[in-house]
Amino acid sequence: MKRALITGITGQDGSYLAEHLLDMDYEVHGTIRTTTHDIEETRVGHLLSTDPPRVKIHVTDLGDSHSLMRLITDLRPDEVYNLAAQSHVRASFDQPIHTGQVTGIGAVRLLEAIRQEDTSTRFYQASSSEMFGATPPPQDETTPFHPRSPYAVAKVYAYWSTINYREAYGLHASNGILFNHESPRRGKEFVTRKITSSIPRLLTGDQEKLRLGNLEARRDWGHARDYVRAMHMMLQHPEPLDLVIGTGESHSVSDFLDAAFAVVNLDWSEYVEIDSQFYRPTEVDYLEADISKAAATIGWKPTISFEELVAEMVTSDLEAHGITA
């Protein structure tokens, strides 16, 4: 039985990846960063409420080298998926140093623990399309990076550190350069879930307006369930590699509004107000993946369309309010 460690298991991707690995009979371990969490209320609560729990949880923080080192020494995992991060782009402008410490140097703390303990451990780094930033689409593995936020800068540092540990120490260390991926488990601070989670409240009158920033930004939005499959496939490849993972289709925030409000037959322009606090000092205007290399090397392709993703998110948020679409 293979043993995997997922940092950031309580996040959107961590929870789907844990389920995916359990389906393949892995022994799954995950990190949470504090004991003050009510862990049963997190996205992996359903995997912990069984007897015995289906995943094992360890308390650590990407800021704490010593606990990471101890964890790797105790577990000696076959695969490590580094999904933990301060992952919110807008928040990274308010907390640039914290973001650098966690999202950037945090990856090196983990790589260093692996290097010192067991270099046969395979490592996945959650790299991001935000690294392309201002470089126009389509973006592939050869596209130059032009990061536009402290978050993206930190991800570029972690990306190159992953490659450096591969080249310097022979680690099987890979970067998945993932474009935006969403789901009903997406945090409500991200634009897609902010929109879908507002719809039931607008319908019931609990919320009057939906305040958003830049509606023109374009993103290549896929489904998180598809993308965690790619993470696992990358670590099964004989050689470590860096791969762009996306859908190859781009939509604006206003396209997302069109699709989401169409599910409930409402006109979003009657509800949406532009609020400058949701603009970023520097924006990423246009992301669209070229996924030819992922198709050719690991045979990955997405299975869930943009329309299916939006419908699933809206329906799930409506159901949580007892409303049927």
Residue 144 preceded by cis peptide, ω within 30: no
Taking CB within 5 to 8 Å according to partner kind, which of ligand NAP, ligand F7E, none is near residue 14?
Answer: ligand NAP
Distance CA 268, CA 259 (A): 10
Q: Return the residues of window 12-41 that contact ligand NAP according to CB under 6 A.
A: 12-14, 31, 33
- E strands of the chain, at which residues? 3-7, 27-32, 55-59, 79-82, 122-128, 173-178, 181-182, 210-212, 218-219, 222-223, 242-245, 251-252, 272-274
Which residues contribute to the site for ligand F7E (CB under 6 A)? 87, 89-90, 128-130, 179-180, 189-192, 194, 212-214, 217, 219, 253, 278, 280, 283-284
Residue nearest ligand F7E, CB atom distance: 217
Q: Catalytic residue at 16?
A: no
Name the H helices within 95-236.
96-99, 106-117, 150-169, 191-204, 224-236
Q: Catalytic residue at 79?
A: no
Given 67, 127, 128, 129, the catalytic residue: 128
Distance CA 281, CA 301 (A): 34
Taking CB within 5 to 8 Å according to partner kind, which of ligand NAP, ligand F7E, none is near residue 115?
Answer: none
Q: Return the residues of window 184-213 that contact ligand NAP according to CB under 6 A.
A: 187
Residue 63 lies near ligand NAP (rule: CB under 6 A): yes
Residues in the chain: 325
Q: Which residues contact 208 (CB under 8 A, 6 or more apart)?
A: 202
Given 26, 81, 124, 151, the catalytic residue: 151
Helix 253-263 vs helix 191-204: angle between axes, to the nearest 10 degrees?
Answer: 40
Q: Return the residues of window 77-106 that contact ligand NAP according to CB under 6 A.
A: 83-87, 102
Given 130, 182, 288, 312, the catalytic residue: 130
Nearer to ligand NAP, 69 or 85 (CB): 85
Q: Catalytic residue at 183?
A: no
> Shortest approach of ligand NAP to residue 83 CB, angstroms?
4
Q: Which residues contact 251 (CB under 8 A, 6 or more apart)?
A: 218, 219, 221, 259, 306
Chain positions contacting ligand NAP, by CB under 6 A: 7-8, 10-14, 31, 33, 61-63, 83-87, 102, 126, 128, 178, 180-181, 187
Residues with catalytic roles: 128, 130, 151
